[in-house]
Chain A
Amino acid sequence: MNLTLKIWRQKDSSSKGQMVDYKVTEISEHMSFLEMMDVLNEQLVNSGEEPVAFDHDCREGICGMCSMYINGEAHGPDRGVTTCQLHMRMFKDGDTITIEPFRAAAFPVIKDLVVDRMAFERIQQAGGYISVNTSGNTQDANSIPISKHAADEAMDAATCIGCGACVATCKNSSAMLFVGAKVSQYALLPQGQVEAADRVKNMVAQMDLEGFGNCTNTGACEVECPKGISLDNIARMNRELMKANI
């Protein structure tokens, strides 16, 4: 198929960006979206132009590196996938596809479609861990039974890949699905209880400091999340924070 691409080009964080039109031809429907981008970049390199910079790494939907806003949706029109798992069969011959970086004040653009998601790192550093030494001299792994239900629910929260689609898609650029998932993982496990109050306070404080917006419960994040992280995690974080303050 032949496609017209409208892509955000921006030289670096201090430059102004703009949308630029490109044409690609003979795109196979079996290609992944990023392979289509590879075709475009190969074309640009061969004509001496600078290729479009975009983040990507594992190309199997788990590293959370890829981050495009495609036709008005984070990771494009398919559900439960990252951009690298989006396939060109979702598009038709002759389509015009708009490709933008994830946008949020807390995610400044570094170049073209690459954004800086260090805010997520700092939130995790504020408390996204259990303070246990890595000596290996902890108690035996089976000494605390954890109900299968709690373990499974913690796993569902922990499955977050930190891609930032929730922030990108939220009209308020709120990071609460991301933070809620992390808070929930530990809140659901007995190991996480000791520091639960400090953890949620510190992580929320850092989240606010980073300039993310507030959650207005539109639920867009849950729909666009490639890993299907549930809104329940935000509610749980709200509860945890209330609990921590009472």
Chain B
Amino acid sequence: MALDSKVPKGALKDKWTDYKNKINLVNPANKRHIDVIVVGTGLAGGSASATLAELGYNVKAFAYQDSPRRAHSIAAQGGINAAKNYQGDGDSTYRLFYDTVKGGDYRSREANVYRLAEVSTNIIDQCVAQGVPFARDYGGLLDNRSFGGVLVSRTFYAKGQTGQQLLLGAYSAMNRQIARGKIEMFNRHEMLDVVVVDGKARGIIARNLVTGEIERHSAHAVVIASGGYGNVYFLSTNAMGSNVTAAWKIHKKGAYFANPCYTQIHPTCIPRSGDYQSKLTLMSESLRNDGRIWVPKHLDDVKAIREGKKKPTDLSEDERDYYLERRYPAFGNLVPRDVASRAAKERCDAGFGVNATGEAVYLDFAAAIIRYGTEQAKIKNINNPSEAKIKELGKDIVKAKYGNLFQMYEKIVDENPYETPMMIYPAVHYTMGGVWVDYNLMTSIPGCYAIGEANFSDHGANRLGASALMQGLADGYFVLPYTIGDYLADDIRTGKIPTDTPEFDAAEKEVKERIEFLINNNGTHSVDYYHKKLGKIMWDKCGMSRNEKGLKEAMVEIKALREDFWKNVSVPGGLNEMNPELEKAGRVADFIELGELFAKDALTREESCGGHFREESAETDGPQKGEAKRNDKDFAFVSAWEYKGEPADAVLHKEELEFNDIELKQRSYK
């Protein structure tokens, strides 16, 4: 099948408006006869469910947690971007569009990004009307902060819990529709397959996670909003249950999977402390506004620190290597996420990692504390303040800005970050890749849509801070509800989709056989054993920097791991009961397939762009020596993979990316 992005004709800024004017609509009386399934109830799925129900469709929403409010969107800390220009600092729809495309290293679809920037302002209006308690200034108007190295203040926030508040907003909108009976909510349910009837997505097979019952659900369209696949690395900042299963199942039934290798590795996470570690915790990027990142200059100091003979505070300025300030004098500690992460890895690979695992660098607030303290002393008219007084005043300011993060760090690491530098290390955080969708957010299966982090569309090869929340809500509240009507307009006479058809029989049979196999396998290794092995291959060979040899090895190793998994995995417990091990087994089985496609995609993309760094594609000389080298001539396309039985056999379809309103440039932070 040829890829058709269905981007409307016309000038960039008029495309969405013109398109909406001409799109097919479904009359309210007919919407009552149309069912839509939404899988996943985070920001994208939750907002989509609420809006579709409000429009009059019958929505069936599915979540594996016990409530939509628990989806991992809730963990987003920093904020949400919107081109409101409330600060009058020159922001505009175009500038948000431009920043997003540039930040994504020119690997996203222009028309989608422009639409995202356009609807961003509606999101803020909508959320305020819903009672989301965004931060305000003393005049009672909305406050903004700047984020991720852009030149304007456009980030709206609710303390360090913006994702939580936005999700609770969407959740409240859902609750209103659940109470009206327009959303039927299936908590503790997991989608295990999509059912395709006459080439169209017409339902899903789901498992009730409490009773173990396998259920059939039909609808006129299926929306996948199941988030990203960062847990393919085992350790990530994702929730324990975050998985690729829904996205992978539709991929196996015909939806193309795009750019799986684009992964965002966030630089400021709390390092791993041991092999038992189950997940990583992110600390807001905002810490880099005041923290200075360093490692010791000399290896003997590193050794002494690891052995506990020296403390980081014992090292003089001369003995420290502020490597970001050294390498990137213009941006210093505020380089984009991908650059900061790679630089940390480079130092740790060279043996300068400061904790027992050798994978940690310091993030130091001592200088900021002195700077703020001196400033405060002046403001408070304290002459010749003592050093202790300056530190005390400075700590108060740092506490006001980052108190909750410092407290979180102290709870986890048991060290006081006001007194000794924090340790940080990059961790997998977000996946820009995902299910390929056209301008309508429809996948290559007619009637099957993908929204939010589950799709690939808006962030290119790297996502800017505070843009994930924006995209999830834009897709769910303001894009999908329009575009899906265009498709459903043809379904007004279809009537209810029956579930007693051969297609449902076949899909259910397949699902049942698979989980019965897992339960009856009686192998020797736990599911986590395989997940950890997969994670190690992914991190070592498909992590922050990748090369041809490693990627080829990864493909072989993952394939072998998959075969071993199906032979030797052990899943205790029964089918017809709550069985968390069985849930995990199904998810890990899909991750092992995705991992191989991931490696294949990374191998195919012989350029460095955004979160994807190929060692073979770096600048070899000049001022940018060692930095990522993008290849627009050969790789300005989206890789959309078609499933052909084995991940290694997937067929590549290219969607060429055209940039008419933006000039392609190299990103430089020197």
**Is there any pair of Cβ atoms, one from A and one from B, under 8 angstroms apart in the complex?**
yes
* Contact with B124, one of A32, A141, A162, A191 (Cβ below 8 angstroms): A141
Given contacts A39-B276, A63-B74, contact A45 B572 (CB under 8 A): yes
Residues of B within 8 A of A131 (CB): 176
Instruction: State whether the Cβ of B274 lies closer than 8 Å to any Cβ in chain A.
Output: yes
Complex interface: chain B residues within 8 A of A144 (CB):
128
Partner of A81, one of B122, B411, B414: B411
A154 to B165, CA, bound (A): 11
Contact call A35/B277, Cβ cutoff below 8 A: yes
Given A63-B72, A125-B175, A128-B175, A140 and B276 contact (CB-CB distance below 8 Å) = no
In the complex, the answer to whether A145 meets B84 with C-beta atoms within 8 Å is no
> Is A28 among interface residues, defined by CB-CB distance under 8 A?
yes
Beyond A111-B578, A145-B139, A145-B140, whether A58 also contacts B72 by CB under 8 A is yes
Shortest Cβ distance from residue B274 to the other chain A in the assembled complex, whole angstroms: 6
Do A49 and B240 have beta carbons less than 8 Å apart? no
Most chain B CB neighbours (cut-off 10 Å) among A56, A141, A145:
A141
**Nearest-CB residue, chain B, relative to A11:** B577
- Residues of B contacting A141 in the complex (Cβ-Cβ under 8 angstroms): 84, 124-125, 127-129, 134, 142
Minimum CB–CB distance for B137 against chain A, Å: 7
Identity of the chain B residue whose Cβ is nearest the Cβ of A133 in the assembled complex: B54
A31: chain B residues within 8 A (beta carbon):
274, 276
Q: Smallest distance from the beta carbon of B161 to chain A beta carbons, Å?
A: 6
Closest CB in chain A relative to B471 CB, distance in Å: 15
| Interface size class, chain A | 35 or more
Q: Is A105 an interface residue (CB 8 A)?
A: no
Q: How far, in Å, is B523 (CB) from chain A's closest CB?
A: 10
Complex CA distance for A136 and B578, rounded to whole angstroms: 40
Cβ of B135 under 8 Å from chain A: yes
Complex interface: chain A residues within 8 A of B72 (CB): 57-58, 63
Complex interface: chain A residues within 8 A of B128 (CB): 138, 141, 144, 191
B416 contacts chain A at the CB level, 8 A cutoff = no
Instruction: Evaluate whether A134 and B131 lie within 8 angstroms (CB atoms) in the complex, with A28-B274, A35-B277, A38-B528 already known.
Output: no
A60 to chain B, nearest CB (A): 5
Flag if A57 contacts B241 (CB, 8 Å): yes
In the bound complex, what is the Cα–Cα distance between A53 and B578 (angstroms)? 8
> Which B105-135 residues have C-beta < 8 A from chain A?
119, 122-131, 133-135
With A31-B276, A121-B67, A129-B173 as contacts: A111 and B239 at CB distance below 8 Å: no
Max chain B Cβ within 10 angstroms of own Cβ: one of A48, A50, A60: A60
**Structural contact, A57 and B240, CB atoms closer than 8 A:** yes
Contacts of B408 in A (CB 8 A): 60-61, 85
Cβ of A139 < 8 Å from any Cβ of B? yes
Q: Does A76 contact B (CB under 8 A)?
A: no
Contacting pair B572 A50 (CB below 8 A): yes
Are A134 and B277 also in contact (CB < 8 A) when A45-B526, A141-B124, A145-B141 are? no
Q: Which of A19-34 contact B (CB under 8 A)?
A: 28, 30-32, 34
Stretch at the interface among A112-120, A169-177, A214-222, A235-243: A112-120
Q: Does B75 contact A (CB under 8 A)?
A: yes
B65 interface contact, C-beta 8 A: yes
Report the minimal beta-carbon distance from B46 to chain A, rounded to whole angstroms. Answer: 10
Residues 201-244 of chain A: 1 if any B CB is under 8 Å from the residue's CB, otherwise 0? 00000000000000000000000000000000000000000000
**In the complex with contacts A58-B74, A114-B578, A146-B140, A158-B133 CB distance below 8 A:** yes
With A63-B74, A87-B414, A120-B67 given, is the CB distance from A56 to B240 under 8 Å?
Answer: yes
Q: CB-defined interface of B63-94 with A at 8 Å, one 1/0 digit per residue?
A: 00111011110110000000010100000000
Q: Assess whether A16 is interfacial by the CB under 8 Å rule.
A: no
Which residues of chain B from 501 to 529 have any CB-CB distance to chain A below 8 Å in the complex? 526-528
Q: Which residues of A contact B (CB under 8 A)?
A: 11-12, 28, 30-32, 34-35, 38-39, 42, 44-46, 48-51, 53, 55-65, 78, 80-81, 85, 87, 89, 110-111, 114, 116-118, 120-121, 124-126, 128-142, 144-148, 151-152, 154-155, 158-159, 161-162, 185-186, 189, 191-192
Besides A63-B65, A154-B131, 18 other A-B contacts (C-beta < 8 A): A28-B274, A28-B276, A45-B527, A45-B581, A51-B580, A53-B580, A57-B240, A60-B279, A60-B281, A60-B408, A110-B210, A111-B578, A126-B179, A134-B130, A145-B136, A154-B133, A185-B133, A186-B131
10 A-B pairs with the lowest CB-CB distances in the bound complex, closest first: A145-B140, A136-B122, A129-B172, A138-B129, A141-B128, A155-B133, A154-B133, A151-B136, A125-B179, A63-B70
